[in-house]
Amino acid sequence: MTTPKSSPRWFLFLGTLALLLAVGLFWKKASQDPQQWHNPWVRVKLLELSYGEEVPLELRGHWSLFSPGHPVLQEGVDLQSMLKADAQGARIGAWLPKQAHLILRTEGEDAIRLGNRWYRGELHLFVERKSKKGMATGLQVVLQLPLEDYVLGVVCGEMPTTAEASSHALRAQAVAARSYAAHQLQQDRPWLQADTRDQRFLGIDFETDRAKHAVLATRGLVLKDATGLLPAWFHADCGGATAHAERLGFSSQNRRPLEGVLDPLCQSPQTWTHPVTAEQLDRFAQEQGVGRWIRSFSAEEKDAAGRWTKILIEGERAEGLFAGELLRKAFGAPSLQWTRLTPQQDGSLMLEGYGSGHGVGLCQKGALRRSRAGETWETILQSYYPGAELHELPPDLSWFP
Ligand SMILES: [Zn+2]
């Protein structure tokens, strides 16, 4: 028996339990039937095995191995094995099928483990050979899953998904991730990378109910402008203003939602220091044809948030003007907001700066702060992609305006 005084707690407890159960059941139902018009397949590359490399593979429940256009090659119940890039192709335990494209499909959900992570979807193995009959040189391990499941993996990979006040930031992130992925599908990319080259994607071990709820609440919604589907880039910390996509070389045309905005919530950004080795500097000089080493860097153009968008390099032999992003990638620098460059005795360079990421589109730090301050996900998206509209993903991406 509970006393009348404690009953509101019980209601709260039972209510929360019911809500979690409802989200769980709804997710399971909603993530089925992936061929629905607004939930196309997405491929994301999990691993690349070089010749001789291997990784633990586990399948739960009934599974089958086949190649497109061929009958089932192998099937069974539960598998714990090793997946190896063999000279003849993809080796799964003792089996060594000859096909260049293999598919591992499971009947149950959440049933694939690769290394120490679990995944939902089916596994595609692509064997690479230098010549048609030659030795296999590598193995691409690619997960195929419905877009909505992929978006969930990105929300969990890109944002902290446990804080209570983050719900609207997570929803804005889900729409941005879905728009970006749909735009890549439109470009016929064979697969997306599972890291910041595209979007950081994690398996099901990292899913939270809050993240699932954010994906469901925005299900099938993407951003568009007059040109069409918006490649809704996003980044970690804008440092006070987001970047202009065209000026940074992200977009070949100017698009209003990607022109950059001021972000007052990020105006006292965290600073960082980043070493660039002498080898990195010399390699850049030689690859870009300015000589054997670099004498000096200077900012030829800076944007509103202090990003070095165009950088003049004086090399040992010649001068060159380079896009800032090229240097950020080559040097692995956290951002282009450089405040000090200090040459070191050993020929390396110490970079100091603030901000994190390329700076285009939604700023994750700002979005989380806005969410905590009570802004809705629609307002957050409008702040970072001004003028963009929300639209349901159509059945045929090639027809998307
Ligand atoms: Zn910001």
C-beta pairs of 290-299 under 8 Å, 24+ apart in sequence: 290/314, 290/315, 290/316, 290/317, 290/318, 290/319, 290/320, 291/315, 291/316, 291/317, 291/318, 292/316, 292/317, 293/347, 297/341, 299/338
237 plus 385 within the same structural domain = yes
- Could you say which DSSP state residue 289 is in? T
pLDDT band at 31 (very low <50, low <70, confident <90, very high): very low
Find the 347 Cα to ligand 1 centroid distance in Å: 34
Q: Are residues 243 and 152 in the same domain?
A: yes
Report if residue 5 sits inside a domain.
no
Please give the distance, rounded to the nearest whole angstrom, from the Cα atom of residue 131 to the centre of ligand 1. Answer: 48
Residue 22 lies in a domain: no
Rg of the Cα atoms in the chain = 24
Distance 367 CA to ligand 1 centre (A): 7
Binned at pLDDT 50, 70 and 90, residue 71 comes out as: confident
Write the CA distances from 298 to 28, 244, 306, 330, integer angstroms: 54, 20, 13, 17
Give residue 268 CA to ligand 1 midpoint distance, Å. Answer: 10
The alpha carbon of 237 and the centre of ligand 1 are apart by a number of angstroms equal to 5
Helix (H) and strand (E) counts for the chain?
A: 8, 21
Output the CA 242–ligand 1 centroid distance in Å. 7
Ligand 1 centre distance from Cα of residue 84 (Å): 43
**Same domain assignment for residues 191 and 126:** no
* Mean pLDDT calculated for residue range 379-398: 91
pLDDT band at 394 (very low <50, low <70, confident <90, very high): confident
Q: How far is the CA of 377 from the centre of ligand 1 (A)?
A: 15
User: pLDDT confidence of 182, banded at 50, 70, 90?
Assistant: very high
Judge contact between 353 and 362, C-beta under 8 A: no
Give the whole-angstrom CA distance, residue 186 versus residue 60.
33
Cα 246 to middle of ligand 1, angstroms: 19
Domain co-membership, 379 together with 256: yes
pLDDT score, position 15: 57
Do residue 182 and residue 302 come from a single domain? Answer: no
Q: Is the predicted pLDDT of residue 383 greater than 80, yes or no?
A: yes
Q: Which residue has the tokens 């460059």?
A: 341
Distance 370 CA to ligand 1 centre (A): 10
For the ranges 3-17, 153-167, 285-299, 305-319, the lowest mean pLDDT is seen at 3-17
The answer to whether position 8 is within a domain reads: no
Expressed in angstroms and rounded, the spacing between residue 325 Cα and the centre of ligand 1 is 18
Kindly state whether residues 242 and 387 are assigned to the same domain. Answer: yes
CA 299–ligand 1 middle distance (angstroms)? 22
- C-alpha distances in angstroms, 128 versus 61, 140, 276? 29, 8, 34
The span from the CA of 223 to the CA of 249, in Å, is: 20
Please write the tens of the pLDDT for every residue from 102-144: 999 999 887 999 999 999 999 999 998 876 677 888 999 999 9
- Cβ atoms of 152 and 159 within 8 Å: the answer is no
Provide the domain limits for residue 189.
148-266+359-399
Tokens of 133: 């009959």
pTM of the shown model: 0.87
* 121 and 154 co-located in one domain: no
| Cα distance between residue 155 and residue 158, in whole Å | 5
260 and 368 share one domain = yes
Domain finish residue from 127, 146, 165: 146
In a domain, 21, yes or no: no
Angstrom distances, CA of residue 79 to CA of 71, 105, 118, 119, 210:
20, 12, 14, 15, 32
Q: Name the burial class of residue 298, with classes exposed (0-12), middle (13-18) and buried (19+) by CB atoms within 10 angstroms of its CB.
A: exposed
Could you say which of 94, 111, 146 is where a domain stops? 146
Asked whether residue 293 falls in the same domain as residue 188, the answer is no
Q: How far, in Å, is the centroid of ligand 1 from the Cα of 225?
A: 22
* Res 231 pLDDT > 50: yes
Nearest to 82 by CA among 68, 72, 73, 92: 92
Q: 352: CA distance to ligand 1 center in Å?
A: 19
Largest CA distance in the chain: 87
Ligand 1 centroid from CA 355, angstroms: 8
Q: Provide the CA 88 distance to its chain's centre, in angstroms.
A: 32
How many A from CA of 203 to the centre of ligand 1? 27
| 138 in the same domain as 52 | yes
Q: Quote the pLDDT of residue 12.
A: 56
Same domain, residue pair 214 and 125? no
- Residues 56, 153, single domain; the answer is no
Residue 6 lies in a domain: no
Distance 211 CA to ligand 1 centre (A): 21
CA of 240 to the centre of ligand 1 (A): 6
Residue 162 inside a domain? The answer is yes
340-359 pLDDT per residue, tens:
999 999 999 999 999 999 99
pLDDT of residue 158: 95
The band of 3, judged by pLDDT with boundaries at 50, 70 and 90, is very low
**Number of domains observed in the structure of the chain:** 3
